[in-house]
């Protein structure tokens, strides 16, 4: 069987290691990537996600940059925008679960945002190298909500070539890693 061809929506997507510090996102760009996240599916349609967005040069962007770790501070401030990705796990401060799929659903919403960005010629890099507790306090994250990651959105610097794709496990491993049941005998792909 030949290597399967992915849809152009996913083909060529990658997480840039550097961003063009001069590229700007328009208001419409920001609204459109958020709209993509908004229409992601979620368990029971709970939509357990929220996004705090600041563009480079915009009020509040510095506040996000201040909380970056040394490693991400080398590249993330150059991105056109930083997005703080939050999941609602609990109902306020009651200790009751709001959604046991909060993290999973947030991941889906961020993936939708990334796919939309890719279609618009933008690229996203998600990361966790920041002071989570400090950022939590600074933003006033509401009870029940949790910051999981940040996404840097922008374009790679002109002339930067696509970095080599990071290795992936085989598709057989993808099917067998989690279970001891063998994959179906007729289909080994």
Tell me the C-alpha to C-alpha distance, in Å, between residue 39 and each of 60, 108, 114: 26, 10, 13
What x-and-dash track marks residues 74-113 binding a copy of itself by CB under 8 A? ----------x-xxx------------x-xxxxxx-xxx-
Identity of the residue, 23 or 37, whose beta carbon is nearer to a copy of itself in the bound complex: 37
CB 105 within 8 A of CB 46: yes
Tell me: does residue 167 bind a copy of itself (CB under 8 A).
yes
Identity of the residue, 23 or 148, whose beta carbon is nearer to a copy of itself in the bound complex: 148
Q: How many CB atoms lie within 10 A of CB 37?
A: 24
Q: What is the dihedral of CA 71, 115, 168, 87, to 10 degrees?
A: 60
Q: Exactly one of 19, 49, 75, 130 binds a copy of itself (CB under 8 A); which one?
A: 49
CB of 131 to a copy of itself, least distance (A): 16
Tell me the C-alpha to C-alpha distance, in Å, between residue 181 and each of 33, 62, 145, 188: 40, 51, 37, 13
Buried b (16+ CB within 10 A) or exposed e, 132-169: beebbeebebeebbbbbbbbbbbbbeeeeeeeeeeeee
What x-and-dash track marks residues 113-152 binding a copy of itself by CB under 8 A? -xxx--xx-----x-x----------xxxx--x--xx---
Tell me: does residue 70 bind a copy of itself (CB under 8 A).
no
Identity of the residue, 3 or 161, whose beta carbon is nearer to a copy of itself in the bound complex: 3
Q: What is the dihedral of CA 73, 75, 78, 83, to 10 degrees?
A: -70
Tell me: does residue 164 bind a copy of itself (CB under 8 A).
no
Q: Exactly one of 19, 51, 75, 130 binds a copy of itself (CB under 8 A); which one?
A: 51
Identity of the residue, 78 or 98, whose beta carbon is nearer to a copy of itself in the bound complex: 98
Tell me: does residue 52 bind a copy of itself (CB under 8 A).
yes
Part of the chain binding a copy of itself (CB under 8 A), chosen from 34-42, 70-78, 90-98, 153-161: 34-42
């Amino acid at each position: 069987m030949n290597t399967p061809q992915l849809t152009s929506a996913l083909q060529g997507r990658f997480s840039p290691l550097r961003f063009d510090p001069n590229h700007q996102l328009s208001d419409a760009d920001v609204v459109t990537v958020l709209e993509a996240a908004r229409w992601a599916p979620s368990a029971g349609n709970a939509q357990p996600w929220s996004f705090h967005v600041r563009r480079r040069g915009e009020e509040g962007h510095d506040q996000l940059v201040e909380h970056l770790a040394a490693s991400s501070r080398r590249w993330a401030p150059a991105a056109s925008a930083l997005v703080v990705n939050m999941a609602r796990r609990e109902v306020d401060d009651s200790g009751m679960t709001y959604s046991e799929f909060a993290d999973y659903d947030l991941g889906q919403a961020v993936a939708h945002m990334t796919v939309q960005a890719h279609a618009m010629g933008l690229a996203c890099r998600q990361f966790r190298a920041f002071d989570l507790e400090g950022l939590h306090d600074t933003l006033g994250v509401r009870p029940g909500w949790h910051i999981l990651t940040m996404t840097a959105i922008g374009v790679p610097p002109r002339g930067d070539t696509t970095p080599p794709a990071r290795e992936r496990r085989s598709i057989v491993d993808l099917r067998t890693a989690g279970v001891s049941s063998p994959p179906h005998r007729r289909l080994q792909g």
